[in-house]
Amino acid sequence: MTGRLADRVAIVTGGSRGIGRGIAERFVSEGAHVVIVGRDRTSGDEAVGALGEGAVFLEGDIALPETSTAMAALALERFGRLDILCHNAGIFPETRIEAMTLAEWERVIAVNLTSTFLSVQACLPAMRQSRWGRIVLTSSITGPLVGNPGMAHYSASKAGMEGFLRTVAIEVAGEGITVNAIQPGNVLTVGLEQTLGERHIRIMEAAVPMGRLGTTQDIANLALFLAGDESAYITGQRIAVDGGQTLPESRTGAT
């Protein structure tokens, strides 16, 4: 621990598991207080128990405006300030376009994209008041950089997120607030291991020039940088953390 976020207060949506959990752990280890937002009370309570007094959990659906309002209010009530929003919550169901229903499309857009607007809007007043803020969005290489069959709704939501951040970054640039996005490649989480299995994971690794999938720590390291003082002159940017996955002209170029 180096205290790079000492006394800062962060909100991490989707922070009870996977990439969000890794980010929350990194922030707490660097001295931040963290509000974790998620839909599952069990995993949320477990995360807070592991992180200790520096963390608190809010149960809620991030696609609903009342959740964003409540998480900002909780940060201010419990810790007295709000410095960092790491909007990480998202869903990625797989459905080919011919089978995709309007309800499926709307749910992915609501959880991944509309929630970005709601979360940022709810957190900006506190950041504007202190004239310091860091907004870090978890985007993806899928949508902004590459496509993936069955992920049209997800791809659209992440591409939309990045268009949103460019404009917001301009709007708040003169107020000490930065807005940036992380584009993870394939990240190895417990959920991914359980869903895909060993064989599929080896195939995915073969498409990455570095020869391995990313870890939650790889993503958390960049989130820490973008959430701190060192990134004060960086805004409106999207940074891929993918082990070079998007570099080759073809899959054979990654071997």
At 103-120, the pLDDT tens digits run: 999 999 999 999 999 999
Instruction: Please check whether residue 4 lies inside any domain of the structure.
Output: no
Paired sense of beta strands 55-59 and 177-184, if any: unpaired
Domain residues for the domain of 46 are: 9-254
Instruction: Please check whether residue 120 lies inside any domain of the structure.
Output: yes
Instruction: Please check whether residue 151 lies inside any domain of the structure.
Output: yes
Q: What is the pLDDT of residue 79?
A: 97
The chain-wide mean pLDDT, for the chain, equals: 94
Instruction: Please check whether residue 134 lies inside any domain of the structure.
Output: yes
Q: What percent of the chain has pLDDT over 70?
A: 96
The mean pLDDT of 151-175, rounded to a whole number, is 97
Instruction: Please check whether residue 2 lies inside any domain of the structure.
Output: no
Q: Is residue 176 classed exposed, middle or buried when 0-12, 13-18 and 19+ CB atoms within 10 A define those classes?
A: middle
Instruction: Give the residue from 30, 33, 16 showing the smallest Cα distance to 226.
Output: 30
The mean pLDDT of 26-31, rounded to a whole number, is 97
Q: What is the pLDDT of residue 1?
A: 55
Name the band, by pLDDT with cuts 50, 70 and 90, for residue 252. Answer: low
Instruction: Please check whether residue 1 lies inside any domain of the structure.
Output: no
Q: What percent of the chain has pLDDT over 90?
A: 87
Q: What is the pLDDT of residue 136?
A: 98
Can you say whether the dihedral through the CA atoms of 244, 245, 248, 253 is positive or negative? positive
Q: What is the pLDDT of residue 194?
A: 63
- How far is residue 84's CA from residue 213's CA, in Å, rounded to a whole number? 27
Maximum separation of any 2 CA atoms in the chain, in Å: 53
How many Cβ atoms sit within 10 Å of the Cβ of residue 216? 23
| Terminal CA-CA length for the chain | 37
Instruction: Please check whether residue 3 lies inside any domain of the structure.
Output: no
The mean pLDDT of 154-173, rounded to a whole number, is 98
The mean pLDDT of 214-225, rounded to a whole number, is 97
Instruction: Please check whether residue 42 lies inside any domain of the structure.
Output: yes
Helices (H), 63-151: 65-79, 102-109, 115-130
Task: Look up tokens 């907004």; give the residue.
Answer: 135
At 173-195, the pLDDT tens digits run: 999 999 999 999 999 887 666 66
Residues recognised as catalytic: 154
Q: What is the pLDDT of residue 191?
A: 66
Three-class SS state of 140: coil
List the 133-138 sheet strands across, edge first: 55-59, 33-38, 9-13, 84-87, 133-138, 177-184, 238-241
Q: Tell me the CATH number at 130.
A: 3.40.50.720
- How far is residue 100's CA from residue 84's CA, in Å, rounded to a whole number? 35
The mean pLDDT of 52-56, rounded to a whole number, is 92
Tally the domains of the chain: 1
At 147-157, the pLDDT tens digits run: 999 999 999 99
Q: What is the pLDDT of residue 253?
A: 53
- How far is residue 188's CA from residue 243's CA, in Å, rounded to a whole number? 12
